[in-house]
Amino acid sequence: MTNHWIDYQHSDVIMAIGVNTAENHPMSMRWIDRARERGAKLISIDPRLTRTAAVADLWLPLRPGTDIALLGGLINYTIEKELYQREYIVNYTNAAYILDSGYFFADGIFSGYAEGSYNRDTWSYELDTEGNPRKDPSLQHPRCVFQVLKDHYARYDAETVCKIVGCSREDFELVASTYCATGAPDKAGNILYAMGITQSTHGSQNVRATAVLQLLLGNIGIPGGGVNAQRGEANVQGSTDMAMLYHILPGYLNMPQGMDHPTLADYNAKETPASSYWSNKPKFLISMLKAWWGEKATPENDFCYQWLPKLDGKNHSHIAIFEAMARGEIQGMFVWGQNPAVGGPQAELERKALENLDWMVAVDLFETETASFWRRPKADPASIKTEVFLLPAAASYEKDGSVSNSGRWIQWRHKAIEPPGEAKSDLWIADQLYKALRYHYSLGGVFPDPILGLNWDYGQGEEEPDIEKVALEINGYEIENHKPLENFTKLAADGSTACGCWIYSGYYNDLEDPPAKRRIREQKGIGTHADWAFAWPLNRRILYNRCSSDPSGKPWNPKVPLVFWEGGEWRMNDVPDFAWKDNPPENTAQSPFIMLPELQARLFSPGMADGPLPEHYEPAESPVHNVLSSQQNNPVITWWQGLGKLATREDFPYIGTTYRVSEHWQSGIMTRNSPWLAEMAPEMFVEISVQLAEKLGISNGSQVFVSTPRGEIKAVAYVTRRLKPMQVDGKLVEIVGMPWHWGYRGLFPGDSANVLTPHVGDPNTTIPEYKAFLCNIRRA
Amino acid sequence: MKITRREFFKLTGLAALAAAVVGCDWDKDPVISYPLVDAKEVTTICPYCSCGCGAICYVVNGKLVSVSGDPDHPINEGALCSKGASLLNLNTVYNLRTHSPETNPNRLTKVLYRAPYSKVWEKKNWRWAMDRIARRVKETRDATFESQEKGVIVNRTLAIAHLGSAALDNEENYLLAKLMRSLGIVNLDHHARL
């Protein structure tokens, strides 16, 4: 999130797209309602009449997977009606930048395309003789970003958009006129999204489309505005920050690649930009290496840079890991608080792939479907070789530690009780695992140095590790005296500082009164609650907040001033997100995005795998042809071998989509083992429209089979008016909706929706396309 | 102390009335059977969605007796959703026959082990399991370790994967990120990509 939950109270219009916030983030409604008490409007964009849609001022039913068509339509509406905030985009974005003359877009393909991928050289700026990008602040140059954007989205006229999305012209106009009115300088439009946006073969571009619209309307960096990703798990923000991902190290440093970064000097040269705050990157990496390998990391050995594994240039994401496992290339797996046998796409493929493992270590509160894959229905344990260890973990209140919410607030959880039986905290399990490995490598082994040399001293023997030592290491300390660093501005690249995750620096900088444990509510102010917990980075609650004021420093909305220039100085209700010290407004007016080399936001982005501007493509499986171009799907999708044949429209005529209910959480392993919750939502169901039920002779409450080429599931039919057939390009399209919380374990077992979903993902992130696929349904 | 659901509601109702009349001046004697008075309050953050709502754990004699919304928390101001309101169940459930609280019988409380081709889980102790896991990791890592690729030092294994987890705390995730990379593991992913 750029902003945070409580800040929603300052919004004038809230557009929830691809997020059912009332059911899946119920507490958000508290702050949405606070805004509505002032007259704010809530728009829900969702295929179903969800509980969010039911209480919204406007609901626009959208065909799954067509978000870019809708958002592109809103971008076009904003430009056509001149509702964009000109002064904001000229100063705060790359709207005025002139593009390379080689850039073009034709029939769904951008310049540089060849054989399934893009050469991005032409997605760049034209440079002047001094090497700086050429700009036209009048925004008239035909190759300036603004004009290119205008041309690109002129194709997204209302008629075309409605044809793709399946909504009425009236609904589109109403949503457009309501939302795009937030282009007024003193109005705040807020876009909320979740997995309805991301789980798509163009998910990253869906997100980009929300950002482009928000920038045009001047809605980034202001109270009540922002692009607010409502994340699905209590600490998915934190686990991302800590780099439980193959492509990054903690704090969003790219993982070293063998071919690009053979040495630390290569890494620093290629990964450190000349401008932006990332010019400090060597300080972050070297401080991390000092945190990991302590005294062993010296300037002479490049701070043990070579002890980090290097990537092979290939994808190692969830889908790729299971494809490799299915091919027999992966022999052992840790699966820690995760349940891919229910939550992974094309679940039968993934369950079967687990049989190829020699060993699996699963750590959880309850027995997961993943840990018990060898005794799943129809499996024959006698033919499965895998050795499985299932380790009992402590629940959230049975241990100490911090979690980071969607608003980047790092909050401490205190241990209330002992875990039951022999269950242990994950911290203890990690510590014991390391100690056992260290013992075995002390006896010899292949290249034991990075293991034996690891800076690891959190507790003796089998005692609970001292979590404060871990927190201090993440926060950072001075090597000389182990004093906590105030924050990451104190980091050095010479080995004199250690810091495990630079963006968290400051969260635990006072051992007597750690900011992450602070609980002081704001008495008066705009709801930033600066003394409640700690928000990364630097306790900043709203990112890009220079944009909350005009170039001269005057707040766009004087009723909610955030960071503004008054009486010859910066005044602030938040930690400024720009170089503000001794720097008057004119010096900072064109550098509000300190993490980008341009220091201005990118309406046009050269960094994506699949195009510098979001373009509509159909999902991998779709009931219709792409209306906008002859390019049916995102042209740079990876078609994995495990996916097999796609569903045909003839055999699988309906759109399948998945979602969650309030009473369950993700793969359901915690909630299906909670008697209160399992009782409230005991059974797997699929929702279909009244019309489809009549056509197929399915009665409410009866059993049905839903199938795709990947498999078949049985569930209870829920015939509902919440789903309606949609008119898409002259064709009537039906949607089959289903939650994905069930599996073969827990108090109430049920079939898993992910048996149906495909092994295909977004080209930037490889997030699977759970939200739009083709299926069939029949009476059981 | 055994208390039925009905008695619990009766008592909490009376307690609320008493609180309304006499403020916080609790009469110690009658509330011996009221579980929340004299309970230790420990603040926590809900482990479900990412709102980051505050909750309070009420602990009596080392046992969790209730979990409710934290009224001081600025995000949820005391409210909780259906999942948040059920937090007690992660540790404690009410036995339907005796109406007494007990540890959720589905919780894992011992290390479980499934030998190759076996049909059953066996209970094991931690020391045995950690030693055995370390041996297996070492065996796989050492057999598949790549020191170099085309003359570049890469120090990795592609034969081990690690999935998870957004359900772990920051400090736990950090230690695992550090440990897994020290082993050379690059097949790393978790919920953020699902």
Cβ contact A414–B43 (<8 Å):
yes
Residue of B171, B179, B188 best to disrupt the A interface, most CBs of A under 10 A = B171
Decide: A504 and A514 in contact? Cβ < 8 Å: no
B188 contacts chain A (CB < 8 A): yes
B164 contacts chain A (CB < 8 A): yes
> Count of H helices and E strands in chain A?
22, 29
Distance CA A752, CA A348 (A): 10
**What chain B residue is nearest to A336 in terms of C-alpha separation?**
B164
Give A490-552 as a DSSP string: G--SSSSEE-S-GGGTTTT--SSS-GGG-B---SSSSS--TTBSEETTTT-SSTTGGGGB-TT
Low-confidence ranges of chain B (pLDDT < 70): 1-35
Cβ contact A338–B52 (<8 Å):
no
Domains of chain A: 5-229 (3.40.228.10), 641-779 (2.40.40.20)
Antiparallel, parallel or unpaired: β A189-193 and A227-229: parallel
Could you state, in chain order, the average pLDDT of each consecutive group of 10 residues for chain A (780 residues)?
98 98 98 98 98 98 98 98 98 98 98 97 98 97 98 98 98 98 98 98 98 98 98 97 98 98 98 97 98 98 98 98 98 98 98 98 98 97 98 98 98 98 98 98 98 98 98 98 98 98 98 98 95 98 98 98 97 97 96 97 97 98 98 97 96 98 97 96 98 98 98 98 95 97 96 98 98 98
Decide: B164 and A244 in contact? Cβ < 8 Å: yes
For the entire predicted model, the pTM comes to 0.96
Residue A461 burial (CB count, 10 A) = 7
- Calculate the CA A82 to chain-centre distance: 31
Residue A771: name the closest of A684, A605, A656, A664 by CA.
A656
Phi, psi of A126 (to 5 degrees): -75, 135
Predicted-complex ipTM score: 0.97
Cβ contact A386–B167 (<8 Å):
no
Cβ contact A316–B47 (<8 Å):
no
B23 contacts chain A (CB < 8 A): no
Cβ contact A330–B159 (<8 Å):
yes
Distance CA A723, CA A736 (A): 8
pLDDT of residue A390: 98
Cβ contact B178–A25 (<8 Å):
no
Domains of chain B: 5-103 (2.20.25.90), 108-142 (no CATH), 145-194 (no CATH)
**What chain B residue is nearest to A395 in terms of C-alpha separation?**
B90
Cβ contact B188–A316 (<8 Å):
yes
Cβ contact A244–B177 (<8 Å):
yes
What does the block give as tokens for A280?
A: 């400090």
B155 contacts chain A (CB < 8 A): yes
Residue of A6, A30, A235, A327 best to disrupt the B interface, most CBs of B under 10 A = A235
User: What single-letter amino acid sits at A651?
Assistant: D
Q: Name the region of A449 (left: φ>0; alpha: ψ -120 to 50; beta: rest).
A: alpha
Decide: A141 and A98 in contact? Cβ < 8 Å: yes
Q: Name the region of B173 (left: φ>0; alpha: ψ -120 to 50; beta: rest).
A: alpha
Cβ contact A246–B159 (<8 Å):
no
Q: What is the 3-state secondary structure (H, E, C) of A72-85?
A: HHHHHHHHHCCCCC
Strands (E), A21-177: 41-45, 58-60, 105-106, 109-110, 113-114, 117-118
pLDDT of residue B38: 85
Cβ contact B45–A375 (<8 Å):
no
pLDDT, chain A, mean: 98
pLDDT in tens, B121-162: 999 999 999 999 999 999 999 999 999 999 999 999 999 999
Residue from the list A292, A401, A417 with its beta carbon closest to the beta carbon of B64: A417
Cβ contact B145–A665 (<8 Å):
no
**Crossing angle, helix A67-80 and helix A145-154, to 10 degrees?**
120
B18 contacts chain A (CB < 8 A): no
Residue from the list B63, B155, B167 with its beta carbon closest to the beta carbon of A233: B167
- Which chain B residues are closer than 8 Å to A306 by Cβ? 153, 155
pLDDT of residue B35: 58
Residue A683: name the closest of A720, A715, A646 by CA.
A715
* Beta-bridge partners for A601: A93
- H-helix or E-strand spanning residue B163: strand B152-163
pLDDT of residue B42: 98
Cβ contact B170–A235 (<8 Å):
yes
pLDDT of residue A621: 98
User: How many angstroms separate the CA of residue A469 from the nearest CA in chain B?
Assistant: 10
Phi, psi of B114 (to 5 degrees): -120, 115
Cβ contact A421–B103 (<8 Å):
yes
Cβ contact A401–B169 (<8 Å):
yes
Cβ contact A310–B154 (<8 Å):
yes
Residue from the list A244, A331, A473 with its beta carbon closest to the beta carbon of B165: A244
B137 contacts chain A (CB < 8 A): yes
Residue A532: name the closest of A509, A507, A511, A512 by CA.
A507
Residue from the list A232, A250, A474 with its beta carbon closest to the beta carbon of B50: A232
What does the block give as tokens for B159?
A: 């034969």
B49 contacts chain A (CB < 8 A): yes
- The reply to whether omega before B165 is within 30° of 0 (cis) is yes
Residue A500: name the closest of A457, A466, A542, A455 by CA.
A455
Cβ contact A234–B59 (<8 Å):
no
pLDDT in tens, A521-554: 999 999 999 999 999 999 999 999 999 999 999 9
User: How many angstroms separate the CA of residue A29 from the nearest CA in chain B?
Assistant: 10
User: How many angstroms separate the CA of residue A551 from the nearest CA in chain B?
Assistant: 32
Decide: A768 and A761 in contact? Cβ < 8 Å: yes
- Which chain A residues are closer than 8 Å to B71 by Cβ? none
> How many A-B residue pairs are in contact by the CB < 8 A criterion?
482
Angle at A71 between CA A67 and CA A72, to 5 degrees: 110
User: How many angstroms separate the CA of residue A43 from the nearest CA in chain B?
Assistant: 20
Cβ contact A405–B52 (<8 Å):
yes
Q: Which residue has tokens 């044809």?
A: A163
pLDDT of residue B26: 46
Residue A670: name the closest of B46, B68, B126 by CA.
B46
B187 contacts chain A (CB < 8 A): yes
- Which chain B residues are closer than 8 Å to A398 by Cβ? 91
Distance CA B104, CA B88 (A): 9
